[in-house]
Structure 1
Amino acid sequence: MKESGFAVAGSSGEVVIADAMVQPLRSAPLPDWRQKLSEIDWVPDLGEDIGSPRWFRGLATLTLLTVGALSLLPDFAPVYGAQSPMPAGTQLEEVRAQMIMPIAYGSDTGRRMAANDSVRALAASPERPRIELTATLGRGDSFARVLQRAGVGSGDVDRVLGLVSGATRLTDIEPGTTLEIVLGRRTSKNAARPLESLDFRARFDLRLAVNRTESGALSLDRQQIMVDTTPLRIRGVVGQSLYRSARAAGAPAEAVQNFLKVIASRTSLSSLAATDEFDLIVDYKRAATGEVLVGDLMFAGIDRGGKPRIQMLKWNSGDSSQWFEASGVGESRGQLSRPVNGSISSGFGMRRHPILGYKRMHAGLDFKAGYGAPIFAATNGVVAYAGRKGGYGNFVQINHGGGIATGYAHMSRIAASPGQRVRQGQIIGYVGSTGLSTGPHLHYELYRDGRPINPLSITFTQRAQLSGGDLSRFKGELARLKAVKPGAALAPLPASARRNEEPQREIDRISAVKIGSSKPAG
Structure 2
Amino acid sequence: MFQKAEFGQGGAGAVLWLARSQPSVPPRRVAVDWRDRVKYWAEDVNLVPDLGHNLGSLTWFRGLATCAALCFVAIKLTPDFGALPAAPLAVPSPSDYEEIRSQMVTPLALGADSGRHMAPTDAVAPLPQTPERPTLTLNAAIGAGDSFAHALSRAGVSSNDIEDVLARVGSDVSAGSLTPGTRLNITLGRRANRNVPRPLDALDFRARLDLAIALRRVDGVLQITRTPIRIDDTPLRIRGTVSDSLYRAARAAGATPATIQTYLRVIAQQISLDRIGPGDRFDIVVANRRAETGESEVGELLYGGLRMEGGKTLDMLKWTSDGRSQWFEASGVGARREGMGAPVSGHLTSSFGMRFHPILGYSRMHAGVDFGAPYGAPIYAVNDGVVAYAGRHGGHGNFVKLAHGGGLGTGYAHMSRIVAYAGERVRRGQVIGYVGSTGLSTGPHLHFEVYRNGATVNPQSVRFMQTAQITGRELMAFRARLAQLKSLSNGPAVAVIPASALKIASR
TM-score (norm 1): 0.50
Letter in 2 for 1:260: L
Residue aligning to 2:488: 484
Q: Which residue of 173, 180, 195 maps to 1:175?
A: 180
In the alignment, does 2:159 pair up with 1:147?
no
Which residues of structure 1 form unaligned runs of 5+? 1-20, 347-364, 376-441, 447-451, 501-522
Aligned-partner SS, 1:331? strand
Alignment of 1:4-43 (within 5 A): 25=30, 31=36
Distance 2:284 2:249 in 1: 12
Distance 1:221 1:126 in 2: 36
Shift of 1:177: 1.8
Shift of 1:186: 1.4
Alignment of 1:224-263 (within 5 A): 224=229, 229-237=234-242, 242-243=246-247, 246=250, 251-263=255-267
Alignment of 1:279-358 (within 5 A): 279-283=283-287, 293-304=297-308, 309-316=313-320, 321-332=325-336, 335-336=339-340
In the alignment, does 2:205 pair up with 1:200?
yes
In the alignment, does 2:479 pair up with 1:475?
yes
Shift of 1:184: 0.9
Letter in 2 for 1:202: A
Calculate the aligned-residue CA RMSD, in Å: 5.9
Residue aligning to 1:503: none
Which structure has greater helix proportion? 1
Aligned-partner SS, 1:201? strand
Deviations along 1:346-391, one digit per CA (max 9) or x if unpaired, are: 9xxxxxxxxxxxxxxxxxx986569xxxx9xxxxxxxxxxxxxxxx
Q: Is the 8 A contact 2:385 2:403 kept in 1?
A: no
Shift of 1:195: 1.7
Alignment of 1:100-499 (within 5 A): 123=128, 126-139=131-144, 141-153=146-158, 156-157=161-162, 160-161=165-166, 164=169, 172-189=177-194, 191-204=196-209, 207-212=212-217, 218=223, 220=225, 222=227, 224=229, 229-237=234-242, 242-243=246-247, 246=250, 251-270=255-274, 277-283=281-287, 293-304=297-308, 309-316=313-320, 321-332=325-336, 335-336=339-340, 368=405, 453-454=458-459, 464-466=468-470, 471-485=475-489, 488-489=490-491
Letter in 2 for 1:323: W
Aligned-partner SS, 1:315? strand
Deviations along 1:384-406, one digit per CA (max 9) or x if unpaired, are: xxxxxxxxxxxxxxxxxxxxxxx
Distance 2:96 2:293 in 1: 59
CA, structure 1 residues 55+27, in 2 after alignment: closer, same or farther (shift >3 Å)? closer
Distance 2:382 2:314 in 1: 21
Distance 1:345 1:186 in 2: 70
Aligned-partner SS, 1:176? coil
Deviations along 1:440-460, one digit per CA (max 9) or x if unpaired, are: xx96999xxxxx7326977x6
Letter in 1 for 2:263: F
Distance 2:40 2:121 in 1: 82
CA, structure 1 residues 83+316, in 2 after alignment: closer, same or farther (shift >3 Å)? same
Distance 1:122 1:146 in 2: 35
Residue aligning to 1:518: none
Letter in 2 for 1:81: P
Q: Is the 8 A contact 2:185 2:204 kept in 1?
A: yes
Letter in 1 for 2:88: G
Q: Is the 8 A contact 2:288 2:297 kept in 1?
A: yes
Distance 1:132 1:228 in 2: 35
In the alignment, does 2:81 pair up with 1:81?
no
Distance 1:322 1:332 in 2: 11
Letter in 2 for 1:474: F
Shift of 1:482: 1.6
Deviations along 1:401-457, one digit per CA (max 9) or x if unpaired, are: xxxxxxxxxxxxxxxxxxxxxxxxxxxxxxxxxxxxxxxxx96999xxxxx732697
Shift of 1:210: 3.5
Letter in 2 for 1:136: A
Distance 2:158 2:455 in 1: 69
Distance 2:166 2:217 in 1: 15
Shift of 1:165: 5.7
Deviations along 1:99-150, one digit per CA (max 9) or x if unpaired, are: 99x9xxxx99888789999987655554443233343334555434433453
Shift of 1:185: 0.6
Distance 1:264 1:297 in 2: 15
Deviations along 1:486-514, one digit per CA (max 9) or x if unpaired, are: xx2299x89x67999xxxxxxxxxxxxxx
Shift of 1:176: 3.2
CA, structure 1 residues 114+26, in 2 after alignment: closer, same or farther (shift >3 Å)? same
Q: Is the 8 A contact 2:153 2:162 kept in 1?
A: yes
Shift of 1:183: 0.6
Shift of 1:193: 2.0
Distance 2:54 2:300 in 1: 80
Deviations along 1:286-316, one digit per CA (max 9) or x if unpaired, are: 6677766544333223334575643222335
CA, structure 1 residues 77+207, in 2 after alignment: closer, same or farther (shift >3 Å)? farther
Distance 1:498 1:26 in 2: 123
Distance 2:277 2:111 in 1: 78
Which residues of structure 2 form unaligned runs of 5+? 1-25, 342-380, 390-401, 409-451, 501-507
Distance 2:127 2:186 in 1: 30
Aligned-partner SS, 2:36? coil
Q: Is the 8 A contact 1:199 1:209 kept in 2?
A: yes
